[in-house]
Amino acid sequence: MCGITGKYNFKYSEPIDRSVAEEMIKVITHRGPDDEGSYFNSNGNLFLGHRRLSIIDLSTGHQPLSNEDGTIWIVFNGEIYNFPELKKELISYGHKFRTHSDTEVIVHAYEQWGKESFSKLNGMYAFALWDNKEQELIITRDPFGIKPVYYFVNNNSIIFGSEIKSILTNSEVSREVDTTALYNYFTFTYVPSPYTVFKDIFKLKPGHFISIKSKSVSIKRFYYNTTQIINYKNEKEIIRQLQEHIYNAVKRQMISDVPIGAMLSGGVDSSTVATIMSQISDSPIKTFTVGFEDDFELNELKDAKFIADKIGSEHYELVVSSEDYNKLLPFSVWHMEEPVATGSILAYYMICKLAASKVKVVLTGQGADEPFAGYPRHLGEYYGKYYRAIPMPLRNFIISPLINSLKRNEQLKRAVFSLEEPITEKRFLRIYQTLQKELTKELYTQNGFDWESLTLGAIQEWQNDAAGFDDLNKLLYSDSRLSLPDNLLLYGDKMAMAVSLEARVPFLDLELMRFVESIPSKFKINGLTQKYLLKKAVSKWIPEEVIRKKKIGFATPIDTWFQNELKSEVEEKLLSEGSAIRKYLNAEVIKKMIEDHAAKREDYKRPLLSFLTFEIWHEMFIKNSNKI
Binding residues for ATP: 290
- Bind-site residues for L-glutamine: 102
d(CA 489, CA 476): 16
Q: State the amino acid at position 535 in one-letter form.
A: K
* Cβ–Cβ < 8 Å for 321, 566: no
- Residue 249, classed as helix, strand or coil, is helix
* Residue 497: other Cβ atoms inside 10 A: 28
The dihedral over CA atoms of 178, 155, 31, 349, expressed in degrees to the nearest 10, equals 10
Q: Which helix (H) or strand (E) holds 5?
A: strand 2-9
CA dihedral over 141, 142, 143, 146, signed as positive or negative: negative
CB neighbours of 507 closer than 8 A, spacing ≥ 6?
246, 249, 269, 273, 365, 366, 367, 368, 371, 513
Q: Which helix (H) or strand (E) holds 90?
A: helix 83-92
Note the Cα 164 to chain centre separation in Å.
Answer: 16
b/e burial code for range 332-349 (CB count within 10 A of at least 16 → b): bbbbbbbbbbbbbbbbbb
Active site residues: 2
CB neighbours of 107 closer than 8 A, spacing ≥ 6?
65, 66, 67, 72, 74, 129
* CA dist 211 → 1, 70, 108, 440 (Å): 23, 20, 19, 39
- Bind-site residues: 102, 290
* CA dist 471 → 380, 452, 476, 530, 598 (Å): 11, 20, 9, 16, 37
Q: State the amino acid at position 140 in one-letter form.
A: T
d(CA 265, CA 621): 33
d(CA 204, CA 186): 21
Backbone angles phi, psi at 466, to 5 degrees: -100, 20
CB neighbours of 272 closer than 8 A, spacing ≥ 6?
246, 365, 538, 541, 542
b/e burial code for range 356-394 (CB count within 10 A of at least 16 → b): beebbbbbbbbbbbbbbbbbebbbbbbebeeeeeeeeee
* Cβ–Cβ < 8 Å for 609, 343: yes
Residue 159 has what DSSP assignment?
A: E
b/e burial code for range 563-596 (CB count within 10 A of at least 16 → b): bebbbebbeebbeeeebbbbebbebebbebbbee
- The dihedral region occupied by 531, where left means phi > 0, alpha psi between -120 and 50, and beta the remainder, is left
Residue 577 has what DSSP assignment?
A: T
* DSSP percent split of the chain into helix, strand, coil, nearest 5: 45, 15, 35
d(CA 373, CA 553): 13
